[in-house]
Amino acid sequence: MFNVLLVDDEPWVLEGLRTMIDWNRFGFQICGEALSAPEALKLMEQLKPELVMTDIHMPVLNGLELIEHSKRILPLPPKFVILSGYDDFGYAHQAMRQRVAEYLLKPIDDEEIEAVLAKLSHEIQDELDAERSYRKKAGLAVHYLLNRLIRDELSPDLAEQASKAMQIQGEPLLQCLLIEIGITETGVDWIEWMADYGPPSLLGCFQDNSGSIGVVLHVEHSTPDEVMETALQLQSALARELEGPVIVALSGTGEGIQAIGKLYRQSAEVRDDKRSQGRSGVFCYQEPRGAERLRGLPFGWMDELLSVIMAGEHASIESCLARIFAAMTDHLLHLRAFQADVADLELKLCRRIAEMNGDPDLFMDRLQRKLGHLSDACHKAPLKNYMRLLAFEAASQLEELSKLNEHNTIFQVIQYVDREYRSRLQLQDLARHFHMNATYLGQLFKKHAGKPFKEYLNDKRIEEAKLLLKRSGMKVSEVALYVGFPNADYFIHKFKLTTGILPSNYKNHVESKQR
């Protein structure tokens, strides 16, 4: 049944609408009545009717103003039918502008209003079906992306896709809620059920390999108590629905898409622990006591490792890995926490590869073909192997990209100088144009061009000047300015220094040979 709200400042009109129409016949039920527009707005927020039938002429706010206000304050306004005793084009025109479903004149004709209700019933049903279909397709897309994220298949491309699918901007605070249902055969599509009845903070759902339902929550503006209340209400509702045990495991918090894999592992650890104990209820993840978090170490071990990988310092990489592995051997690191930090390192390295015009997906594919996914490395030995390979493969890839980018950039710089040599080129301007350090560009230019920038530029200008002196009737001063020298005196000095003769003598010598 669709809910309909009746609005009129005359009680007898409301009574007539309530009694004269067979609402159930058209799939409607009256959920409320209001004698004014302000009262109607409150009821619309509380009851969320699919249809509002309202008089146009009322005190405080008229029917058209009611519609306008509702569209401003309600996320999903209902359809409206205007009932009016005013056969006025102005009112009808305003109603059309507000996209009112129907505009009916009093006294109401039974056949007319029944036809309107039959039509609106079909329209509302079609819209709900379309919305449900869209949500299901969108939910399936999110489900697929989340299943990849919880398997630590994180890459910049996947992170971007997931952010768009879940409409996440920046790196908001997230939590993972994992639901273990004791009954295996329920006949319920729990992903769809969660989309319909889950909390407002829900960003997406997934189902892991063990059949548990996962929910990713946006908790940026929620207190821990509010999140706990959400989990308790969900667990209570499911336990009543299924009449059986339900475990709801709540992870810690993490920032952004890259945290989802870690949050899932935290909630899965809680679920596994409580399932083995035969428990039911809501349980929260607690950081293991006595286990130091690698990322939280004051010495910044992971940041140091990232730095030496990017610098391509192989000996330093080995030293950093040895220190980290020693901590693993001494049981200072919690295994799941360490996996999460390696996943974070992966993401940062993939981002750097993408920034340097590399293909992070191809890099990760090559890595995983050799050793599988990070999530498969559940013990210390495979984790060490995975991290070592990640570190050295990334260092080699970044070094290769650095050389390639360096060659490509300096090639573009030299081409630019060859094209723009007539302009007033300065090394500092060139460095700003190509977003490089001027001193480094000068060194790089000399390495690839075989001579310093200023010498290369002057030689280029003089070669062009020689052609002009040979083939044109231009004066020496005109040639000097045309090829980019600031004045004729400086041109003459550089020309003689390079060729051994003055430009005027060079011009005369060429002309005498041509006679």
pLDDT of residue 329: 57
Query: Would the pLDDT of 319 be above 70?
Result: yes
Nearest to 207 by CA among 218, 189, 191, 230: 191
Compute φ and ψ for 145, nearest 5 degrees. -65, -40
Query: Would the pLDDT of 291 be above 80?
Result: no
What's the rounded mean pLDDT across residues 385-400? 91
pLDDT of residue 41: 93
CATH T-level assignment (fold) for domain 2-108 = Rossmann fold (3.40.50)
What's the rounded mean pLDDT across residues 200-226? 85
Kindly report, residue by residue over 51-102, the tens digit of the pLDDT.
Answer: 999 988 888 888 888 988 888 888 888 999 988 776 554 555 565 565 677 8
Q: What percent of the chain has pLDDT over 90?
A: 27
Nearest to 301 by CA among 254, 337, 349, 341: 341
Query: Would the pLDDT of 506 be above 70?
Result: yes
Q: Pairing mode, if any, of strands 28-34 and 2-7?
A: parallel
Query: Would the pLDDT of 369 be above 90?
Result: no
pLDDT of residue 294: 40
pLDDT of residue 333: 54
What's the rounded mean pLDDT across residues 464-471? 88
Q: What is the CATH number of domain 427-514?
A: 1.10.10.60
Query: Would the pLDDT of 129 be above 80?
Result: no
Confidence of residue 474 (pLDDT cuts 50, 70, 90): confident
Output the six-digit token pair for 99: 């996209």
Query: Would the pLDDT of 173 be above 70?
Result: yes
Helix ranges, 174-259 (H): 190-197, 224-242
pLDDT of residue 295: 42
Residue 57's Cα: distance from chain center in Å?
48
Q: Which of 175-179, 321-325, 333-337, 413-417 has the lowest mean pLDDT?
A: 333-337
d(CA 267, CA 283): 9
The 102-105 sheet, strands edge to edge: 28-34, 2-7, 51-55, 79-84, 102-105
pLDDT of residue 137: 66
d(CA 403, CA 466): 36
- How far apart, in Å, are the Cα atoms of 261 and each of 135, 342, 484? 24, 11, 60
Cis peptide leading into residue 224 (ω within 30°): no
Nearest to 62 by CA among 83, 87, 93, 31: 83
Greater confidence (379 vs 369) lies with 369
Contacts with 1 (C-beta within 8 Å, 6 or more apart), sequence order: 24, 27, 28, 29
Whether the predicted model's global pTM rises above the 0.75 cut: no
pLDDT of residue 509: 82
d(CA 232, CA 227): 9
Q: What is the largest CA-CA distance in the chain?
A: 117
What's the rounded mean pLDDT across residues 447-456? 91
Greater confidence (408 vs 348) lies with 348
Return the top range by mean pLDDT from 6-10, 106-110, 286-290.
Answer: 6-10
pLDDT of residue 328: 66
- Vertex 145: Cα angle to 142 and 149 (nearest 5): 130
The neighbouring-strand residues paired with 207 are 213
What's the rounded mean pLDDT across residues 366-380? 77
Query: Would the pLDDT of 330 be above 70?
Result: no
Greater confidence (201 vs 380) lies with 201
DSSP state letter for 422: T
Greater confidence (380 vs 431) lies with 431
Nearest to 250 by CA among 197, 180, 343: 180
Query: Would the pLDDT of 482 be above 50?
Result: yes
Query: Would the pLDDT of 24 be above 80?
Result: yes
Query: What are the DSSP calls for 66-125, one per residue?
Result: HHHHHHHH-SS--EEEEEES---HHHHHHHHHTT-SEEEESSPPHHHHHHHHHHHHHHHH
d(CA 113, CA 413): 76
Kindly report, residue by residue over 139-165, the tens digit of the pLDDT.
Answer: 677 878 888 888 877 888 888 888 888
Q: What mean pLDDT value characterizes the chain?
A: 83
Residue 121's Cα: distance from chain center in Å?
38
CATH T-level assignment (fold) for domain 151-284 = Alpha-Beta Plaits (3.30.70)
Return the top range by mean pLDDT from 128-132, 406-410, 492-496.
Answer: 492-496
pLDDT of residue 298: 32
Kindly report, residue by residue over 244-253, the tens digit of the pLDDT.
Answer: 788 999 999 9
Query: What are the DSSP calls for 132-182, one per residue?
Result: HHHHHHHHHHHHHHHHHHHTT---HHHHHHHHHHTT--S--EEEEEEEEES
Q: Which of 278-292, 357-371, 374-388 has the lowest mean pLDDT?
A: 278-292
pLDDT of residue 297: 38
